[in-house]
Structures are given as structure tokens and as C-alpha cells.
Amino acid sequence: MCGIVGAVAQRDVAEILLEGLRRLEYRGYDSAGIAIINPEQQINRLRRLGKVQELGNALKETPLTGGTGISHTRWATHGEPSERNAHPHQSADIVVVHNGIIENHELLRNQLRDQGYNFSSDTDTEVMAHLVAELRKQTSSLLEAVQQAVKQLHGAYGAAFIDRTQPDSLVVARSGSPLVIGYGIGENFVGSDPLALLPVTRKFAYLEEGDVAEISRHEVKIFDQNAHPVERKIHESDLSYDASDKGEYRHYMLKEIHEQPRAVTDTMEGRVTQDGVAAEAFGPEAAKLLPGIKSVQIVACGTSYNSGMVARNWIERYAGIPCRVEIASEFRYRHTLVPEDCLFITISQSGETADTLAALRKAKEQGYAASLAICNVAGSSLVRESDLTFMTRAGAEIGVASTKAFTTQLTGLLMLTAVLARNNPQAEDALQKRFADGLHQLPALLKQCLALDSEILKLSQAFADKHHALFLGRGSQHAIAMEGALKLKEISYIHAEAYAAGELKHGPLALIDENMPVVVVAPNNDLLEKLKSNMEEVRARGGQLFVFADEAAGIKPEQGIQVLNVPHMDHLLAPIAYTLPLQLLSYHVAVLKGTDVDQPRNLAKSVTVE
């Protein structure tokens, strides 16, 4: 949610700050702004409604010079998207950019108004600018003023401040929203995501909760929540500089869809042998901890939640242990009970989703047997705070609609199922070999699914003028129908709902007519015959069926049924493989409708506010 970039250098930093924002734009994109202290020690601030490109155009007309600056791309929480609500916010000599939410902003605003401060925006952020400006009068440095200010702030935030009177440094504070310091040579940086800083450095240190840091050209001083100086480990990043380039593809989403065979291969690399899955893939302690596990609780949001819903089917069926799955925003506030020897799993692309992180912290207090994070970002909060970790190796995912993160999560969850299934006395003899063979076949199978692209493009035409769509599946494919519907609504703005096909006659059948396309996910599994009956229920009412079916399922195209034949496969793999045609369907529909595929309206990639 929102993106922050800051720099302290000898050279002019405007272009570094702008390029950083371009790379973070997937996090939020309703407005953008920049503030730089110029060589005459004045603050120049430029803000624009709309995308980073608008700010870039403004900077061409009004170039900003200076070596110390901060910038921001916004996803509105408090106050509509507008130039006056865009960050940075300023109070006299103090300027701030902020991610997250200040929960006690009303109280602070009233206090500051009483002290004579005028507010020029509707944001919660502006209170930070005035509060630090006020405290700065009573302190000897910006660092001290920020350290005093954070004691009064409630909520989740990552923030960066500059002070006109201290032009050679910036001060940052983290509580709930990620911030990473980038170490250069004779220059240093801060960002809400290392991706923003890859053009200038590969050395990063993540701030911990409650940290405040003062960053100058030659030094970074970090203080913990008790204001004690601390060191934070510096990592060398192996993220690719090109990861955020579209290459030959028209959109990041399309690029990322096509990267899936490679991403899944990378995720298995060194972890799956001919005999099975290495437990160590889940961390050094996994071989010791996992055999004692008697049940599983999965918690996640969005697409990551859908992968958990698939995993529930796998874990209960093959590992033979109970598995519950819950949306993080519900779990964190619900009165929940802890089953004995229960593994608490969080699934998250970013590792920074506020609700998922809060759920993990609650689970740790409640005393689950162990926690496992399935995550795509090394060093993220979820990874740091979990006992066990499984890193998906999807690489940077830029498209807001998640694609390769999802299929690599599923790959990790299938591998976890294989490890847990070793302790299932009821498991079939050849199960481990079946998992290993299936996983090895997966990348080639995904390539075959991608080769269906031109047929899917044809099918997509029927959706472009529709306002609603229904997705049906049964068993683990119900979760894939959920993911298919989520993709379509996210990027094409078509209202799409997923139903377990058996629920059709309990409501959604009333919606069926010729204007309601119905997508059916139909692998060749033990529920196929039941699914065929559900399809007949739709057809008998004039509904238009689009069936993504195993070529061996015997579903033929006829009046009211269009069929996309998917290669025959072990149905263990079907949830992963069938995802790709559904992603392509949504993609083509969105392109036909002309929506913003990579940055759909109102959404953000990384949701670091609850």
C-alpha cells in the first residue's frame, strides 16, 4: 500500500526517487509526489494527481535539484485521491511521506489545531508533519523529534522525514509498514520495497518494528523502540534488476503468467528428488517439527487464501490430518481455539499483508505448535517472525493481480502435503513417488496449458460485453473457480462469483440466462459425473457454458457448451494447471475491455493496512 523512496546523496536524487516510484507504482497509484532540499537549502515539493507518469511530466517542466529527498506513490485511505491529499505533507521545515494509517489522527489533529497548526489536507499523515514540526522546536535534531513523535502515534506506519535545517540526512520510522534501508557508496537510500532501490544498490537492511533510523551519506544509525542503537543485518539481494521490466510482453501480468513454468521449476529446485520432497525445504527445524503435527490452520488473504483452500483438500485427503483455512482479517478478531499440535500456516506473496501478519502474531500468543510462512519475499516480516519458512521463488511479481505467486504457493503446498503425508498410516504405498513424479511433470504441463492461449483468446470475446460471470468447480477445483472469478473481477471489473457446483440450485441458478457466462473447471476426477449434472442444470435454463475440461473427460462442444480441452493429467496437479487457462481468460477479457491490467482501479499489490 503506497510506496516510499528516499535518498541522501551528493548527486541530484530526483531521477532516483522518480525511478523508485515507477517501480513501486504497483503498490498504489492514485497520486504521487516528491520533496527535495535544494542546494540553497530550500524545500521544493511537487505533487500530482494520477500516476507517477504525471509527476514525471511535471518534473520535466520543473526540474528539482538537490541530494536529499523523499517521494511517495499513494493508495488513498484517509481523504480522496487529489493533489492536496498527495504526499509529501509539509509543516514549515518538516516534510513527511507515510505508508499505513495513524489511528489516533483525530485526537492529534485537534490538539495540533489548538496549538495553532492549520491543516491543508484530509489525510491522517499531515498530523505527523505538524507533530514533528512542533516537537522539533523542543529538540536538538530531527531524529530526536521523530523519536518523541512516534511515542504519540498509534497505528501502522512506515514514514520518512526531511528537515530543511538538516539538509544532509533523512529520518525514517517503522511500525507495522515495511521499510528497507539501501546502502550505496557515499550515498544511502530508503524504500518500502527493495525493488525500488535496485537501480542504485543491492545491499539492504530491513528495519524492525519500532525502529527509527537516521540516514546520511556516509552513515546509517538505527535505534530500536527504546532508542538504543542497534545493528540490523545487511543482506545482499539477488533480485534481478530486470525483474520489473516488461520485456517483450504488453503487460507485466502476461509476462508473469508466462513465467510460471520457470517459477515453479525454481521453487522445486534442490528440494524435490526422484524419491520425494526434502522436509528441509521448510526450514532447518522442519524435519524435527513436522512429524509431530496433527492438524493444520491456514490463514491468508486474497489470492493467497485461495491457495490455502486448495491445500485443505490436499492435506486432508493425502496427509490424513484436519486442515482449516480462514481469511486473516476474520481470524485475527475472532475468538479462536487452538487444536493440539497444530501447525499455523500463513501464505503471502509479499509477507507484509497487515491482517496476515496480525493473525500470525495472535497465533504465536495463542501457542500453536509451530508457525510456517509460505512467502515470496525473503526478509519480509512474516518470514522473520515464523518458525519455519518456505520461500516460493516466483521472483518479483509486479502485476497487481497475483499469478505466478499463486502457482508457486500451490507448488509449495503440494510439497508440504507430500512431507506431511509421510506420517499418514493410511497413505497409499506409492504416494510419495506419485508426488515426486507429479511435481517433476508440472513445468512441462504448465507449458502445454500456456499453449492454449489462442483458443482462450477466442473464448474471451464472449465475455467482453458481459456484466456478470459465474465460475463453478467441485472439491479442490472450487478454490480454482474462486481464483478464476477473483482474477476476472480484479482486472476486467466484471462481477464474477464462484460457487461450489453443488450449491448451484441453492440460489445462483436463479441468475442463469443467456447473458450469464458460466465457466466450469472440469478435470477428470471422481467428481466429474456430479459436475456434468450441474452443467446440465445450467444448460436446461439457457445458460452459456465455457468448460475447461480434461481432454479425457468426454465433454463435447454442442449448443450452449464451448469446451477448452486441457491436457490429461494426474488430478493431483489439476488445481495448479487449470489456473493458467483461467488467468489467460481474465487477461484477454481485460485487454478487450481496455482496463488497466497491471494496475486495476482501487486495488494495490501489497496491503499493509488492515
Q: How many residues bind ligand G6P (CB under 6 A)?
A: 16
Task: Name which position in 73, 381, 402, 407 contacts ligand G6P (CB under 6 A).
Answer: 402
Binding to ligand G6P by residue 332, rule CB under 6 A? no
In the window 304-323, what residues touch ligand G6P (CB under 6 A)? Answer: 304
Q: Which residues have CB under 8 Å from 48's CB, separation 6+?
A: 31, 32, 33, 54, 55, 57, 58, 83, 86
Contact yes or no for 60/433 (Cβ under 8 A): no
Report the nearest approach of ligand G6P to the CB of residue 376 (Å): 8
Task: Name which position in 607, 608, 609, 610 contacts ligand G6P (CB under 6 A).
Answer: 607
- Which region, judged by CB under 6 A, interacts with ligand G6P, from 197-205, 220-228, 347-355, 426-434? 347-355
Phi/psi at 222 (nearest 5 deg)? -115, 140
Instruction: Between 126 and 256, name the residue whose CB sits nearer to ligand G6P.
Output: 256
Binding to ligand G6P by residue 181, rule CB under 6 A? no
Task: Name which position in 191, 194, 302, 395 contacts ligand G6P (CB under 6 A).
Answer: 302
Report the nearest approach of ligand G6P to the CB of residue 571 (Å): 25
- Which region, judged by CB under 6 A, interacts with ligand G6P, from 117-125, 179-187, 300-308, 590-598? 300-308
Catalytic: which of 2, 323, 375, 449?
A: 2
Q: Are strands 180-183 and 220-223 parallel, antiparallel or unpaired?
A: unpaired
- Which region, judged by CB under 6 A, interacts with ligand G6P, from 243-251, 287-295, 564-572, 599-607? 599-607
How many CB atoms sit inside 10 A of residue 313's CB? 18
- The residue among 379, 378, 381, 325 whose CA lies nearest residue 358 is 381
Q: Which residues have CB under 8 Å from 102's CB, separation 6+?
A: 108, 124, 125, 127, 128, 153, 154, 155, 157
C-alpha cell of residue 196? 525500488
Instruction: Between 91 and 402, name the residue whose CB sits nearer to ligand G6P.
Output: 402
Instruction: Between 260 and 524, name the residue whose CB sits nearer to ligand G6P.
Output: 260
Binding to ligand G6P by residue 413, rule CB under 6 A? no
Q: What would the x/- binding string for ligand G6P be over residues 350 to 369, using CB under 6 A?
A: x--x--x-------------
DSSP-assigned beta bridge partners for residue 95: 90, 162
Q: Which residue has the cell 489548538?
A: 114
Interatomic CA distance for residues 288 and 423, integer angstroms? 13
Summary count for the chain: helices (H), strands (E):
18, 25
Task: Name which position in 301, 414, 485, 591 contacts ligand G6P (CB under 6 A).
Answer: 301
How many CB atoms sit inside 10 A of residue 229's CB? 8
Q: Which residue is nearest to ligand G6P (CB)?
A: 302
Report the nearest approach of ligand G6P to the CB of residue 363 (Å): 15
Interatomic CA distance for residues 75 and 25, integer angstroms? 10
* Active-site residue flag, 301: no
Cα 522 to Cα 447, 476, 530, distances in angstroms: 19, 11, 10
Binding to ligand G6P by residue 182, rule CB under 6 A? no
Binding to ligand G6P by residue 476, rule CB under 6 A? no
* Active-site residue flag, 203: no
Instruction: Between 482 and 566, name the residue whose CB sits nearer to ligand G6P.
Output: 482
Report the nearest approach of ligand G6P to the CB of residue 597 (Å): 13
How many CB atoms sit inside 10 A of residue 275's CB? 9
- The residue among 43, 40, 27, 216 whose CA lies nearest residue 129 is 43
Binding to ligand G6P by residue 389, rule CB under 6 A? no
DSSP-assigned beta bridge partners for residue 216: 169
Binding to ligand G6P by residue 489, rule CB under 6 A? no
Binding to ligand G6P by residue 6, rule CB under 6 A? no
Nearest 5°: CA angle at 342, between 345 and 314? 60
Q: Coil, strand, or helix at residue 72?
A: strand
Residues near ligand G6P, by CB under 6 A:
301-304, 348-350, 353, 356, 400-402, 603, 605-607
Catalytic residues: 2, 605
